[in-house]
Structure 1
Amino acid sequence: MDITQIRTLIQVAETGSLSKAADRLCIAQPALSRHVRMLEEELGTRLFERHGRGMVLTEQGQIALRHAQRIVAEIDEMRISVADESESLRGHIAIGLTPTVSDILAVPLFDTIREACPYATVRIVNSYSLYLMDWALQGKIDVLVLYDPLGIRSLRAEPLVEEDLYAVAPPEAGLQPDMPLNVRDLRDAPLALPGRDHSLRILVENAAKACRSTLNVVVEADSLSIVRDLVREGRCWTILPLAAVQDDLAAGRVSVAPLASPVIKRKLELCFPSDRPVSQLADFAGRSIASISRKLVREGRWPGRIVT
């Protein structure tokens, strides 16, 4: 048994598919299948049930997965503990931020890392949660901030901030920040939202179903800048956290109202891939994200609530 086989177990359990796990780990599917088979032979039990739709953990596989996750975590901790302090904050760090978070965090985060780690190079990847999560599991991102990662086994998540969602409309709609708007009142509003597989869209769709209403989505746009442009130009409404439109609201380019009946909240979480080592540089970046986020909330510069 080796660490490659253990990481294979975690990825196949996560994706439910040898082909998807092979893509994430960037190795050939036959080699991945061999790792699983060798691990099963060494443990003397079947870890997965194979069927036409993929692979599902057996009861013994669930037990093995819990041990595998602990082993990987222990190896990460050991590597961080013995790392050469003079080298630990050098190298390259790739940080994934969702668009609304990037607007708030990117500059202060870069400044913090640059000051403390002058020999490190920083890459900031700005995209929606779904894409960031997949890139992280492929090894392309070291630390990331996601909305509602939904208990993904290959990610270790720590809560940061909870935000309320707002209806955002052109100024002439006359929405008011102190006058909540019921979700069912959005039925006829022409909405610009991300695609159906994105966390914000899922939250909004579920809220509409909960109050037995529907949404009038006239355009799907997986770009925050496009959505904001459509609203500013009077073409559409959208639904976003207040932080995403603070500047537009102050400049009178949009109007907003908090959503009610039901209130829609989403939680922002700091995430690390749990199936590979976390470097001291990535750990420092993560701690910086947490510290800056909470500072901005306390100062009122990030509308939201600190989650502990």
Structure 2
Amino acid sequence: MDISQLRTLVFVADLGSLNKASGRLRIAQPALSRQIRMLEDELGVRLFDRHGRGMTLTDHGIAALAHARHILGELDDMRQAVGGPSAAIVGNVSVGLSPTISNALSVPLVAEFRRAHPAVRVRIVTSYTGYLLDGLFRGDIDAAILYSARATLALRTEPILSENLFLIGPVSSGLSPDKPVQFKDLADLPFLLPSRGHDLRAVVDDCARQAGIDIDVVVEVDGYGSLKELVGAGYGYTIMPATAFEREQGEGQFALAPIADPSPVRQLALCYPRDRRVSRAALFAGEVMKEKMIGLVREGTWNGTLVG
């Protein structure tokens, strides 16, 4: 087993095909295929299922990938330790963001890596909290912004801000940022919300219990893009952070209003795995995201309250 085989495993797993990995690594596809076969022979297990659409990891492959990332990360850290604290960061980093946060942080995160550490290969995983947690536990994600209500003792968490949630509707709804809506009045509206078990849905359901009402969820939508399209088409309302609809609201596609008595709020935290070392690339990513979020709150662009 050598480093090139582990690097091939990571690239093929991330990109889903030998062809894409070949283009990224600039190594002929047959050579990459041979490295994968040699690694499988040495481990005595099949790491990938091959199919017409590409390659997907087996259960053995998922376990091997976590170890490969760890080994490659240790190697990168050794190079950087020899070069001193001022050495450029190299290697790979995987960052987890929810769809509502990704809009605000993806561009500045990539921009800072390209400016300060262009040799780092950045992977942004955009999904809901449950999937991001699994990725942190498996070693597939190095750092994430999560809703701390879902955090566990297995994570190092640093609370950053409490985020206000708003009532979002089509432009025809007449909602206004200057006119708060009482939570009890939401009982008369049709809602499009994520399914039960999603962190945002838990916040909404808890507020509904406090207000003594039932929310009429006409459609459960776990796809962020689909939810936006359905609200914009007039099929119902949703409850989301204002940052998730900031661009579309500015373009006149949606209207929003604050919610009162009670006001739905959720806390955001920067999270790292506690059971393994955190790379310099992951720490850099975390600092960039934290500073960007703090800056947006202070500018008034991100509607929330800083923690601490």
Same fold (TM over 0.5): yes
Q: Residue 148 of structure 1 contacts residue 199 of structure 1 at CA under 8 Å; is this kept in 2?
A: no
Q: CA deviation at 1:172?
A: 1.6
SS at match of 1:83: helix
Deviates more, 1:103-112 or 1:253-262: 253-262
Identity %: 38
* C-alpha contact (below 8 Å) 2:159/2:270 kept by paired residues: yes
CA distances 1:136-158 after superposition (whole Å, capped 9, x unpaired): 11110000001134440111111
Q: Which of 63, 72, 97 is residue 26 of structure 1 equivalent to?
A: 63
Residue of structure 2 equivalent to 1:5 = none
TM-score between the two structures when normalised by the length of structure 1: 0.72
Q: Give the 5 Å matches for 1:26-45.
A: 26=63
Whole-angstrom CA distance in 2 between matches of 1:149 and 1:277: 24
Assess if the C-alpha contact under 8 Å between 2:148 and 2:157 holds in 1: no
Cross-structure match for 2:128: 128
Corresponding residue for residue 83 of structure 1: 81
**Number of residue pairs matched by the alignment:** 236
What amino acid does structure 2 have at the position aligned with 1:172? S
1:248 matched to 2:240? The reply is: no
- Listed one character per residue, the Cα deviations across residues 97-134 of structure 1 (whole Å, up to 9, x for unaligned) are 11111000100110101211111100000011111111
SS across alignment from 1:257 = strand
Bigger shift: residues 197-206 or 161-170: 161-170
The 10-residue stretch of structure 1 (197-206 or 295-304) with the greater mean CA deviation from structure 2 = 295-304
Q: What is the match of residue 64 of structure 1?
A: none
What SS does the aligned partner of 2:256 have?
strand
Q: CA RMSD in A?
A: 2.3
Counterparts of 1:84 and 1:160 in 2: how far apart (Å)? 33
Q: Does the CA contact (< 8 Å) of 1:160 and 1:269 recur in 2?
A: yes
What amino acid is the match of 2:257? A
Asked if the contact 1:88–1:279 (Cα under 8 Å) also holds between the matched residues in 2, the reply is: no
Residue 200 of structure 2 aligns to which amino acid in structure 1?
L
Which ranges in structure 2 are unaligned for 5 or more consecutive residues? 1-58, 65-73
Please state how far the C-alpha of 1:287 moved relative to its aligned partner: 1.0
- What TM-score do you get using the length of structure 2 for normalisation? 0.72
Is contact 2:88–2:117 with CA below 8 Å preserved after alignment? no
C-alpha distance in 2 between matches for 1:222 and 1:298: 31
Question: Structure 1 residue 169 and structure 2 residue 169: aligned?
Answer: yes
Q: 4+ residue stretches of structure 1 with deviation over 6 A?
A: none
Kept in 1: contact 2:149–2:267 (CA 8 A): no
Unaligned stretches of 5+ residues in structure 1:
1-21, 28-75
Give the Cα separation in 2 of the matches to 1:290 and 1:110.
14
CA contact under 8 A between 2:148 and 2:159: conserved in structure 1? no
Classify 1:84/1:186 alpha carbon distance in 2 versus 1 (closer, same or farther; 3 Å).
Answer: farther
Q: Matches of residues 129-278 of structure 1 in structure 2 within 5 Å?
A: 129-278=129-278
Q: Tell me, what secondary structure is at the counterpart of 1:222?
A: coil
Residue type at the aligned position of 2:287: R
Kindly provide the CA deviation profile for residues 217-241 of structure 1, in whole angstroms up to 9, marking residues without a partner as x: 1111112111111111111100001
